[in-house]
Structure 1
């Protein structure tokens, strides 16, 4: 196999899926240390990707800006943004374009980029008929495998040794992010051990959330048992609900400071245990090598669980799970998980030493 000089990785979003792509990209870096690796992504994940030493370049796809200006009728601004993006995407010819996303949007961007070999997932994993556009297809025999292992199939297709252990996925963050978090913890007198609790999920994923009131019960138990402090994690659009949870628990929890992804990673890395649902922040905590307790509901834990030996899953094995029924009225898979059950599992988790 000819050694590639330029490799383009396409995994646009979301945070959790991007993090579950990191081991495969690390594997390619280890296999081809002299190659120039670019990563095409969108949204806030580009900020933390740009700080990683196994990536040479992050190409930002300005989808949100393009959509916003186009809807407002700002055609000239849209044209300028699109021109600059296309210039960045097409400035070099890639020996390999590896599409780890496998949707119509990623295929469209792959076709626009200049590449010699276009590689993506076969029919087992591809969506939107994306597999028909690849020159080389990475096939799998079992659809329900973890996303990290699925992405590693692509790395192995491209030369990563089968017997090699899957690379770990710790992230680098700038010193300013760690200082920001140190200042927050110091100013609120938060000392180890402390529990990072994230009761939220992305805007269109509320069906995956365990009830806020049960998080309140759990936090109360943690504090009554004097296990440590509790910091409530929140993200864009979640502050009001996070404040409601603080109101439910009184002085038993502290609202986290506002963070970007790098700052959030720095905060999670300082925590003793992380508690949350199936969301990108959970995978960020796992990447920070923090003990993770994940409350799974309708989503497939085999495919989406934190890829860590230091992880505990709480779920109910009911006939209808997994599913993607966002309008489920009973949400039995989540409503049958009690705060007592979660607390008992939490008590058995060894706390992480302070970093």
Structure 2
């Protein structure tokens, strides 16, 4: 078997893919596994022995002709076509898209031969998005900012591939020796972040580090070449701390050696957080801005998260006190700590958020439907049941009246369903599930599409039935019979 795995996201996403790649290798020891990334992040593949071949998609060569003063579209397309043809010529038996982006689905479809199996986002032959498996559909519907998912992305990947992890899947790679002599005992601070707004200013990092000066534990600074000035400013502000500044002086693979013996990694959301999950280094994650820490936080056994909506809301001195407490064996009550099981990090939830997550578990995992504690939920469910019933009746009229006449009514029904999701947020997971299932209705004859669409609506009706009062159900059934009998 020949397998292509594409991971076209950033460094952290590549490292989050490592356990899945190792589990895939265990499940298919004789397969030839190729791993496709962007050239910019190829360093994140060093030491990943689970793959047979690393490939790079020349994104810069494709985009460069498009951003010059006189865009050279023909040159860009030629480079893209050459890359696609080379991948298609490999004749992969199984293509796995771990990127989870609609944009990546075009490449997946382009390199897929007719006999290949596809897992992850791809495209139908008419160009529409294809969610090729149940977990991809789950990701599309429930994962991301302002979504109810509570499962870590690392575990979502395993579920998509129908794999189970073992301890060795989360192991540091065997990489070359690291020349710099490190202190016997030390902490590691990653000075940057995956995005600038998720990081701290040098002044705030100094405030974080000030309580640690009394421990006399050296702090090893790590980061990219472009973060060298930031590291120097941190040192200038935190004059009481002892530093070993390695910012801009390491390869990405060297970071494993630095993390391996560290007492603790301190950092915002970035690749080292996920590298520390492979070395099982205790990790203190300062989580700032729009990020779901339960989806992308540390997977280290001892993982701790200090959460702030933005840097202005962060009490930097208190962060330092929390870190000092951990070094003394005490976890402050405001820290979010690593949990075992389906949910990696428990979230301080509102009643609405708890309802949403429980509803997700009912929809996908066979859990019990949560009890509605607001009248608005029941009212929203009744409205959803009504408009869903209306949509089904319209779909049944398509063979008689034609899609051109029925289509506007169906479009209006979709608008109403979307508005219910906004007005009654507790029901948004159910509506997102429905919308993803509609996406999964692929191209076909009009009859096939109508049959598949009706199936989605009928399943929606069964789910929403739980929250519709019995009297409303009787009334709906009576109206349906009257429509069928021609009395309305």
1:263-322 Cα distance to aligned partner (Å, 9 max, x none): 222222243321111211211122222221112233222111111212222236xxxx6x
Match of 2:133 in 1: 136
- Structure 2 Cα separation of the partners of residues 43 and 143 of structure 1: 31
Distance 1:196 1:349, change over 3 A: farther
Aligned to 1:127: none
| Superposition TM-score, scaled by structure 1 size | 0.77
2: CA distance, partners of 1:131 / 1:271: 48
CA distance in 2, matches of 1:184, 1:80: 45
Q: Determine the structure 2 residue equivalent to 1:339.
A: 320
Q: Which residue of 2 aligns with 1:59?
A: 55
CA distance in 2, matches of 1:131, 1:312: 41
Identify if the C-alpha distance between structure 1 residues 74 and 262 changes in structure 2 by more than 3 Å, giving closer, same or farther. Answer: farther
Which residue of structure 2 lines up, in the alignment, with residue 267 of structure 1? 258
Residue aligning to 1:255: 245
Name the structure 2 match of 1:348. 329
In 1: Cα distance, 2:271 partner to 2:105 partner: 23
Supply the distance in 2 between the matched residues of 1:268 and 1:8 (Cα, whole angstroms): 30
Alignment of 1:75-224 (within 5 A): 75=72, 78=76, 81-82=79-80, 84-115=82-113, 116-120=116-120, 132-138=129-135, 139-140=137-138, 143-156=149-162, 160=163, 165=166, 168-175=169-176, 178=177, 181=178, 183-185=179-181, 190-202=182-194, 205-224=195-214
Specify the SS of the correspondent of 1:7.
strand
Root-mean-square deviation (Å): 3.1
CA gap 1:103/1:131 in 2 versus in 1, 3 angstroms: farther
Distance 1:212 1:69 in 2: 38
Q: Aligned partners of 1:215 and 1:311: how far apart in 2? A: 20
Structure 1 position 93, deviation (Å): 1.3
Secondary structure, counterpart of 2:232 in structure 1: helix
Matches of 2:24 and 2:296, distance apart in 1: 22
Matched, 1:68 2:64: yes
Question: What residue number does 1:309 align with?
Answer: 301
**In the TM superposition, what whole-angstrom CA distance separates every residue of 1:191-222 from its partner, at most 9, and x where no partner exists?**
210111113112xx223224432321333332
Flag the structure with larger Rg.
2
Aligned to 1:324: none
Q: Secondary structure at the match of 1:261?
A: coil
Cα distance, 1:26–1:337 mapped onto 2, change above 3 Å: same
Maintained 8 Å contact 1:27/1:166: no
User: Structure 1 residues 297 and 63 mapped into 2: Cα distance closer, same or farther (>3 Å)?
Assistant: same
1:35 and 2:31 are equivalent in the alignment: yes
Match of 1:245 in 2: 234
Instruction: Verify the 8 A CA contact 2:211 2:317 in the aligned structure 1.
Output: no
Give distance in 1, aligned partners of 2:17 and 2:193. 20
What TM-score results when the alignment is normalised by the length of structure 2? Answer: 0.57
Secondary structure at 2:274's aligned position in 1?
A: helix
Q: 1:48 aligned to 2:47? A: no
Long gaps (5+) in structure 1? 123-129, 322-327, 351-355
1:293 aligns with 2:294: no
CA distance in 2, matches of 1:104, 1:334: 38
State the distance in 2 between where 1:245 and 1:105 align.
Answer: 38
State the number of aligned residues: 312
Partner Cα distance (1:83, 1:195) in 2: 47
> For each residue in 1:78-102, what CA deviation from the matched residue of structure 2 results, as whole angstroms up to 9, or x when unmatched?
5674455334422311221111212
CA contact (8 A) 1:92 1:114 kept: no
Post-superposition shift, 1:45? Answer: 2.9
1:278 is aligned to 269
Distance 1:145 1:197, change over 3 A: same
Correspondence for 1:325: none
Q: Secondary structure at the match of 2:36?
A: strand
SS at match of 1:102: coil
Gaps in structure 2 of 5+ consecutive residues:
143-147, 332-488
Could you tell me how far apart the structure 2 residues matched to 1:43 and 1:334 are?
38
Does the 8 Å contact 1:195/1:230 carry over to 2? yes
